[in-house]
Structure 1
Amino acid sequence: MADDAAPRPVLDLTCALIARKSLTPDDAGCCALIGERLAALGFTLEWIDAGGVTNLWATLGSGAPLTILAGHTDVVPPGPHQEWQSDPFDPQIRDGVLYGRGAADMKSGLAAMVVAAERRLARGPTQGTLAFLITSDEEGTARHGTRHVVEVLKSRGLTPDYAVVGEATAARQLGDRITIGRRGSLGCNLRVLGKQGHVAYPDKADNPIHRLAPALAELTTTVWDRGNAHFPPTSFQVSNLHAGTGASNVIPGAVDVVFNFRFCTESNAEDLKARVSEVLDRHGLRYEADWWLSGEPFLTREGALIEAARAAVGDVTGLDPLLFTGGGTSDARFIAPWGAEVVEIGPINDSIHKIDEHVLVTDLDRLSRIYEGILDRLA
């Protein structure tokens, strides 16, 4: 499957992980495979499972600094198999590109981290504690994965110093950017209540769509903040809107709206909820709001970790990476508030969650060398 020039250790482990059909939250044996490799290095393995989710916490050494390599084994569904050039769970290499679900997001990152640890430890022990935090609940609800493990470890009084998350972060070539922060995500299922009736007798009904419209217009044009040097302004987006019975002559009794904030460090969830409620109340709406917070924003400031990451990327790729805070959410949102400096570094992210997800074979070993270079500088 691989040509003789391919960097085998990372490639072989990536393929072995892709071949395990770990649809979220099913780990499908990925953590066990990784655990075997880590146990052979002397890591102590602990399984902190919850809610049907597999969570591996593996540690080697003691004391500070506590450096975590973190990632997830679960993948999103592949979609129609017939639209893939090959079976999404049968890793295939074509023209120097490895195809398979999870190739970029993020089984290659996990494989590269494991091999990086193997190479680093072959040259002697690290300082402090080296740890792996691996979950099978990142692509799903993310309630019983890294979030749960962090709470368990916090209760023991553990505080990490550094964490590297292996998410796919590169835009056009490996190392062109690393993620040092993420926006927060706050969502709401909003139901605005009215009174159902006949469209010919509007005086006997109360149209919730008409009531909602002015409030929604205000929400969509509100400037929530102006962002800062690291983040764009907070955005408000409606993703779903539904009302009506299907009949053209019935005023509906309710209208349902789903909206989301992607918010920067200039705002916080409680203030955003309060500001939305103020608008809805001022417009006289009767409503029910079901809010959910996927994560607060975070930002890693310039320090030892960013310095080590930039240097390691430069050594391997010759690039000075852009320090990036865009994109969606990741499990870094649970690790950063724990007290760690956090960066995310991984392969090109153009194909993640898509048909024919893929990664460049030549990037696999180079990514592992980047992780190894970070460990050299921190541990």
Structure 2
Amino acid sequence: MEEITVDLLRQLIVLDSVNPALVPGGAGEAAVADLCAGWLAARGFEIHWLERRPGRPSVVAVARGAGGGRSLMLNGHLDTVTLAGYDGDPLAPRIADGCIYGRGAFDMKGGLAAMMVAGARVAASGQLRGDLILACVADEEHNSLGTEEVLETFTADAAIVCEPTHLEITVAHKGFAWFDVVVEGRAAHGSRPDLGIDAIAKAGHFLVAVERWAGRLAEGPAHERLGPGSVHASLIRGGEEASSYPASCRITVERRTVPGEDPRAELDDILSGLAATVPGFAASVEPGLRREPFEADPDWPIVATVLGQARRVLGRAPALRAEPYWTDCALLDAAGIPCLMIGVDGGGAHAATEWATLESLDQLTDILAATIREWCVDRDAEA
């Protein structure tokens, strides 16, 4: 199985699939989606091509079960981050020291190859009772619009996201919310302080409040696995020229969240406090992208199934972990699909050198294949 998975991963790495929402002019997912569709169609899968945005397709491959079994979705993303700054040729896969190198080897074409090979192997047995759904999605590195599009049409009794986890099982991750806070001033000539209100100076009060907000979060109650939430100011823009009072100052704030938090209410409280205590302070909020945190229930059957198969393959119990970043697990969970995340070992996500270990690639393929069998084939498995 390792030879087949490595060969497929080589084919995936060779294809440029840089997300154009991150890098203007990026190749997008079309070429790699075409490869996945052709590879899976040749192995008997029913292929669904979803392309609401031209040039940004997702592929859903379905192996239909005979009936009476549970369905399972495996999710992996097709896009990668930039090729710029990579040490060597990012599209020339190289094997050395037990690892395969190249852009996407770790994040996450390694997991994509493993789920495709595992799915094809079990589907070929002709024993599936429940449907097996392989979702090869676009745009995870930006807005996850691919998984959103898939979930409009497809569902399953459980799902596994094959993002890299070092063969540990991710059962929680943080969410995030972006806000633009527009602090208001009054434009005037720089020589007329009697007329002008300096929006940038007023924004300084808000920045101090953000720093205090971050301190309260760091010192406050922490989630058992995720720790505390966090906040920071990530962008600031204001003013027109040196000789004028700025009419506005825009600050982008990112709030990383754990379950149970309401970042908008927190922000509104801060701004209300500033308006009441800082003379002339006024601001409005423009909400941006918001993604909810994710937390799996340890009692979900899919958690027990993957944990048991990983223990068998690895010869030890894998760690249950949480991630500080956001993943498509939250979208699957919100759609009512119990899920978790497990993927290859390696490193270099978004970095100048990226790799996955060959051993973990083989082990992940084995874990996924065994999980599919137990979930979609076993007549006696509990729902």
Assess if the C-alpha contact under 8 Å between 1:78 and 1:353 holds in 2: no
Residues 30-60 of structure 1, C-alpha deviations (whole Å, 9 max, x = no match): 2222222322333211112111220112212
Is 2:173 the counterpart of 1:182?
Answer: yes
Question: What is the TM-score normalised by the length of structure 2?
Answer: 0.86
Q: Residue 285 of structure 1 aligns with which residue?
A: 281
Assess if the C-alpha contact under 8 Å between 2:207 and 2:233 holds in 1: no
Question: What is the TM-score normalised by the length of structure 1?
Answer: 0.86
For 2:153 and 2:123, the matched residues in 1 are separated by 27
- Alignment partner of 1:58 out of 58, 61, 70: 61
Assess if the C-alpha contact under 8 Å between 2:106 and 2:349 holds in 1: yes
For 2:371 and 2:270, the matched residues in 1 are separated by 43
After TM superposition, list the pairs within 5 Å mapping 1:1-379 onto structure 2: 7-24=2-19, 26-52=28-54, 53-62=56-65, 64-80=69-85, 83-85=86-88, 87-143=89-145, 145-153=146-154, 159-170=155-166, 175=167, 177-197=168-188, 201-222=192-213, 223=216, 226-245=221-240, 247=242, 250-268=244-262, 270-272=264-266, 274-279=268-273, 281-282=275-276, 283=278, 285-302=281-298, 303-348=300-345, 350-379=347-376
CA deviation after TM superposition for structure 1 residue 200, in Å: 5.8
For 1:130 and 1:10, the matched residues in 2 are separated by 19
Assess if the C-alpha contact under 8 Å between 2:293 and 2:326 holds in 1: no
Q: Residue 380 of structure 2 aligns with which residue?
A: none
SS of 2:36's equivalent?
Answer: helix
For 2:222 and 2:289, the matched residues in 1 are separated by 20
For 2:256 and 2:332, the matched residues in 1 are separated by 19
CA deviation after TM superposition for structure 1 residue 277, in Å: 4.8
Q: Which amino acid aligns with 2:64?
A: G
Assess if the C-alpha contact under 8 Å between 1:44 and 1:58 holds in 2: yes
Aligned length: 359
Assess if the C-alpha contact under 8 Å between 1:88 and 1:100 holds in 2: yes
**Structure 1 residues 238, 349: CA separation in 2 closer, same or farther (over 3 Å shift)?**
farther
Q: Percent identity, aligned pairs only?
A: 27
For 1:274 and 1:189, the matched residues in 2 are separated by 12
CA deviation after TM superposition for structure 1 residue 280, in Å: 5.2
Q: Which amino acid aligns with 2:156?
A: P
Q: Which amino acid aligns with 2:175?
A: G
Structure 1 spans left out of the alignment, 5+ residues: 1-5, 154-158
For 2:11 and 2:191, the matched residues in 1 are separated by 65
Q: Which amino acid aligns with 1:335?
A: L
CA deviation after TM superposition for structure 1 residue 354, in Å: 0.7
SS of 1:186's equivalent?
Answer: strand
SS of 1:138's equivalent?
Answer: coil
Structure 2 spans left out of the alignment, 5+ residues: 21-27, 377-383
Residues 268-327 of structure 1, C-alpha deviations (whole Å, 9 max, x = no match): 455445445534544563334221233111211012111112122222223322222223
SS of 1:359's equivalent?
Answer: strand
CA deviation after TM superposition for structure 1 residue 131, in Å: 0.4
For 2:188 and 2:7, the matched residues in 1 are separated by 64
Q: Which amino acid aligns with 2:84?
A: G
Alignment RMSD, CA only? 2.4
**Structure 1 residues 344, 123: CA separation in 2 closer, same or farther (over 3 Å shift)?**
same
For 1:362 and 1:189, the matched residues in 2 are separated by 45
For 2:267 and 2:115, the matched residues in 1 are separated by 39
For 1:368 and 1:50, the matched residues in 2 are separated by 31
